[in-house]
Chains A and B, each alone.
Chain A
């Protein structure tokens, strides 16, 4: 089982890949979800945003057997908060996939 640092690194990388921005673009400025949609050429609406997070969640299940539910967050939420929720989910032993 990977440690928390490896999982965080994986989630950061997958967020960036799935939204079509670099990790530094995403996290250095700690973009809000609204800013992220505006900045990304790949995304135009909340369907695209949820799909990007869902793909990250599905990657965690496929690669590590970990279940992550998507949080309901407003568009003024910074991406660091989404990362924190994902980390809370993957480090919660009850969320481990059967």
Chain B
């Protein structure tokens, strides 16, 4: 099992224009989701924080890219990761599942990610 936590000041993302180009750190779909949010900067910070927490929770996995971990939201707006590429292959091979929880208050975003063994089929 792996546990990762990240605390991110929302204001620190204000000047980060380079990170807002698609398929560099975020996917195009993630960036579109941030832009549609009530507070796009807060949403961008949440996306950054979620990936940082995921990195801390994962065992060492070589050769993956930040765009391999795409933050998506279900019908109830609950966040989860959709994995691609090297990272998706590793998690499937090792039988791992990932849960994420996001919260924001007072100019900060806090994220917790837990990596656990998937139940046997």
Contacts and interface: CB of A to CB of B under 8 A. Distances in A.
B18 interface: yes
Contacts of A67: 23
Contact of A72 (B19, B24, B64): B64
Nearest to A97: B23
Contacts of A47: 8, 12-13, 16, 19, 48
B67 A61 contact: no
Nearest to A71: B65
B16 A51 contact: yes
B65 to A, nearest CB: 4
Q: How many A residues are at the interface, by size bracket?
A: 10 to 19
Contacts, number: 59
A69 B67 contact: yes
Contacts of B16: 47, 50-51, 54
A35 to B, nearest CB: 19
Nearest to B58: A72
B52 interface: yes
Given A69-B65, A69-B66, A72-B55, A61 B21 contact: yes
Contacts of B48: 47, 50
A11 to B, nearest CB: 14
Contacts of B69: 72
Contacts of A45: 12
Interface string B65-85: 111110000000000000000
A62 to B, nearest CB: 10
A38 interface: no
B49 to A, nearest CB: 10
Nearest to B56: A74
A69 B19 contact: no
A78 B24 CA distance: 20
Contact of A58 (B13, B21, B51, B64): B21
16 contacts: A47-B16, A50-B19, A50-B48, A54-B16, A54-B19, A57-B18, A57-B24, A58-B18, A58-B21, A69-B65, A69-B67, A70-B25, A70-B67, A71-B65, A72-B68, A74-B55
